Amino acid sequence: MAFDGLPHGSIPCFADFKYVFLRHFANSRKYQKIDHCLFALKQGSAEPLRSYIKRFNQVAQDVPSTTSEILMSVFSHGLTKGEFFKDLIRNPVKNFDEMLEKAASYINVEEAQAA
């Protein structure tokens, strides 16, 4: 619907205009994501850890209500069951930032093996 194509006088007051405008552009509105959308993130079987972390962080930044504990839980749940996952089980970390620091050493190993 183009507003310049409306018949003259078809929107008699500002409240009506506001309603029509908001209804028309409602699908353009960006909605805040909630924690549950993070659970859909899984590391692909051949996906490098760096790539999974990048994807995870892109989605997590749109979830303002999340906590470090939730991030750690969801992130580790989505990991493939490799050496990094096993190390997180054997040697738990205190927060998500610490988890990312630990991941950095595994990324270095992955990338050195791929080179």
pLDDT exceeds 90 at position 98? yes
Predicted pLDDT of residue 89: 94
pLDDT (tens digit, 9 = 90+) per residue, 52-81?
Answer: 999 999 989 888 778 899 999 999 999 999
8 Å CB contact between 52 and 44 = yes
The conformation of residue 13, written as its DSSP 8-state character, comes to S
Domains in the chain, CATH or no CATH each: 35-114 (1.10.1200)
Closest listed residue to residue 36, CA positions, set 68, 66, 58, 61: 66
Give the C-alpha separation, 102 to 95, whole Å: 11
pTM over 0.85: no
Three-class secondary structure of residue 4 per DSSP: helix
